[in-house]
Amino acid sequence: MSQDELKNLTIHEARKMLDSRKISSKELTNIFLERIQKVDQSTNAYITVTTEFALQQADIADEKIRIGEQKPLTGIPMQLKDNMSTAGIKTTCASKMLENYIPSYNCTVADRLFSEGAILLGKGNLDEFAMGSSTENSYYASTANPWDLKRVPGGSSGGPAAAVSADECLFSLGSDTGGSIRQPAAFCGVVGMKPTYGVVSRFGLIAFASSLDQIGPITKNVQDSAIVLNAISGYDPKDSTSIKNVSQDYISNLKSNISGMKLGVPKEYFPDGMEEGVKKSVFQAIEQFKKLGVEIKEVSLPHTDYALAVYYIIAPSEAAANLARYDGVKYGFSSKGDLEDIFDDIETTRQGGFGDEVKRRIMIGTYALSAGYYDAYYLKAQKIRTIIREEFNEVFKNVDALITPTSPTVAFKLGEVIDPLQMYLNDVFTQPANIAGLPSISIPCGISEGLPVGVQLMSSPMNDGVVLNLANAFEQSTDWHDLKPEIFI
């Protein structure tokens, strides 16, 4: 196999080659490090590349394989989004505020992946503090979409999605507060899964909006997504919202026969004005599910229209509270004032350390939480959140899962969307799953204007396996996931 073919491997295929000693983890790691060298100047999918650490980890992995102690991810090169704490390795959140921040501990997902023997190639680019839909809000410049370098990769996990799409790693982890795994996965033609809230530990994930944030895999196919989810999911006493008894084996339960399952098509997710190419691809995907023996039902979720408003009250409110910790005193950027007035110092630190979008969120959140407005905004949003959740519960009494577009458009041009409100609209189809804590996946389902289209599947909480099964069956009966961005083939 040539170097070029090796970088195209899936985790599953790489595992077989590692176990049969056709390749060592060190060789595989070097292939990806070279690949990063070659293409990352075009994509900017990495903020930090951890060459030395990766090679050390590869040696340890090769030893584990030699003595037969390998696990599914031993020796597999990966990337982590740069809002996941890694001990001794810079974790910037794509912010000037954390430009020189080196955590002293690992987030739980990194701990779990390292103990399986996965290899860290580096940290992926994102919108500052995961706020955005295009990765243009990164302090370290924007990431480019490997399908068209003049276009955005989506966001906020634009680095992870672009890195997987351009074969700069075998898989990556993203975080998803309102769509940040699924929308970039759709824009870059890869698979992105947001698990049920609480299935994957958030310990050590730098918080954006704690009741919505969830970590999940970005991979080349659905089987790989299940492999990674197996490794990172499960109860963690360090995260008080972590769910006990998540002892699901997503791999052994992965089926390709989905005949007889029921899929709901919520009419509110196909509004007028949606891109024709996206609509067409999603309708084709629905037809494909019919061929696979799935019963399709039209359903209605009438409060969908309020989801965006609810999200943009709750997410900024939680962000304002979470980001209050960056004061220039404990860690991170400091304006190094004269300390005559601590409040002046905090103000200049926050003024200089945060970018515009982060400041916008802090202001919205602070306003929504302030004494005179709390009931009108925050409390009201929480009440509607409950209604949205209950509406999903009702619908899931009649269908196993829902099918919708992931995003109303394909990847847009860098610099094209400057109005924040227009940018917020990117996540109208993905945010409801965060509001209700549902498992949801985006998989490639077509091409429009030469760019990938993603279809989203959602199910009820703890039915991550249902979502994976449906996605897997669809993927096995189509070849959209095999398409690669031409410039990087």
Residues that are catalytic: 81, 156, 180
Residues 6+ apart with CB under 8 A from 432: 301, 304, 307, 388, 392, 438, 458
Element (H, E) at 217: strand 214-219
Does the footprint of ligand GLN cover residue 317 (CB under 6 A)? Answer: no
With CB under 6 A as the contact rule, the residue among 124, 132, 184, 461 that binds ligand GLN is 132
- Shortest spacing between CB 422 and ligand GLN, in angstroms: 12
> Is residue 130 involved in binding ligand GLN (CB under 6 A)?
yes
What are 113's two structure tokens? 């992946």
DSSP, collapsed to helix, strand or coil, labels residue 42 as: helix
Angle between helices 25-43 and 51-66 (to 10 degrees): 150
* Amino acid (1-letter code) at residue 169: C
Q: In this structure, are residues 255 and 377 in contact, taking their beta carbons and an 8 Å threshold?
A: no
Are the C-beta atoms of residues 278 and 186 closer than 8 Å to each other? no
DSSP annotation of 127:
S
- CB of 396: closest distance to ligand GLN in angstroms? 23
Of 265 and 435, CB closest to ligand GLN: 435
Residue 427 in the binding site for ligand GLN (CB under 6 A): yes
The yes or no reply on residue 131 touching ligand GLN (CB under 6 A) is yes
Q: Out of 170, 315, 411, 467, which residue is the one contacting ligand GLN (CB under 6 A)?
A: 315
> Closest CB to ligand GLN among 156 and 463?
156
**Nearest residue (beta carbon) to ligand GLN:** 180
Does position 134 interact with ligand GLN (CB under 6 A)? The reply is no
CB of 73 to ligand GLN, least distance (A): 24
Shortest distance, CB of residue 131 to ligand GLN, whole angstroms?
A: 5
Asked whether 433 and 404 are in contact (CB, 8 A), the reply is: no
Among the candidate windows 44-52, 72-80, 128-136, 479-487, which touches ligand GLN by CB under 6 A?
Answer: 128-136
Please name which of 13, 28, 31, 25 lies closest in space to residue 63, comparing C-alpha atoms. 25
Q: Identify residues 193-212 at the interface with ligand GLN (CB under 6 A).
A: 208
Contacting ligand GLN (CB under 6 A), which of 57, 95, 143, 177? 177
Q: Is 409 in the site for ligand GLN (CB under 6 A)?
A: no
* Residue nearer to ligand GLN on the CB measure, 24 or 134: 134
Q: Which residues of 24-39 are buried (b: 16+ CB within 10 A; e: fewer)?
A: bbbbbbbbbbebbeeb
Tell me if residue 30 falls in helix, strand or coil: helix
- Does residue number 269 form part of the binding site for ligand GLN (CB under 6 A)? no
Within 213-232, the residues that bind ligand GLN by CB under 6 A are none
133 touching ligand GLN, by CB under 6 A: yes
Output the smallest distance, CB 179 to ligand GLN, in A: 5
Q: Which is nearer to ligand GLN, 176 or 475 (CB)?
A: 176
Size of the site for ligand GLN (CB under 6 A): 13
Q: How many Å apart are CA 172 and CA 165, to the nearest integer?
A: 10
Q: Cα separation of 110 and 103, whole Å?
A: 12
Rounded to whole angstroms, how far apart are CA atoms 266 and 264? 6
Choose the stretch contacting ligand GLN; rule: CB under 6 A; options: 69-77, 127-135, 331-339, 369-377.
127-135
Cβ-based nearer residue to ligand GLN, 57 or 225:
225
457 three-class SS: strand
Query: How far, in Å, CA of 413 to CA of 418, rounded?
Result: 11
Residue 111 interacting with ligand GLN (CB under 6 A): no
Give CA–CA dist 84/70, Å, rounded. 25
152 is a site residue for ligand GLN (CB under 6 A)? no
Candidate ranges 29-37, 130-138, 336-344, 403-411; the one touching ligand GLN (CB under 6 A): 130-138
CA angle 40, 143, 447 (to 5 degrees): 100
The Cβ-side half-sphere exposure at 440, using a 13 Å CA radius, reads: 33
Closest CA to 73 of 56, 61, 82, 91: 61
Nearer to ligand GLN, 136 or 167 (CB): 136
Q: Does 327 bind ligand GLN (CB under 6 A)?
A: no
Q: ∠ at Cα 312 (437, 387), nearest 5°? A: 50
Least distance between ligand GLN and beta carbon 32 (Å): 26
Binds ligand GLN (CB under 6 A): choice among 44, 48, 79, 180: 180
Asked whether the CA dihedral 273, 275, 276, 282 is positive or negative, the reply is negative
Residue 192 DSSP code: E
Contact predicate 410/187, CB 8 Å: yes
Q: Is 160 in the site for ligand GLN (CB under 6 A)?
A: no
Element spanning 31, H or E: helix 25-43
Least distance in angstroms from the C-beta of 176 to ligand GLN: 5
**CB-nearer residue toward ligand GLN: 9 or 98:** 98
178 binds ligand GLN (CB under 6 A): yes
Q: Which is nearer to ligand GLN, 117 or 432 (CB)?
A: 432
Listed ranges 74-82, 171-179, 231-239, 325-333: which one lies at the site for ligand GLN (CB under 6 A): 171-179
Report the residue number, 132 or 437, with the smaller CB distance to ligand GLN.
132
CA distance 175 to 220: 17
Q: Report the interface residues with ligand GLN, using CB under 6 A.
A: 130-133, 156, 176-180, 208, 315, 427
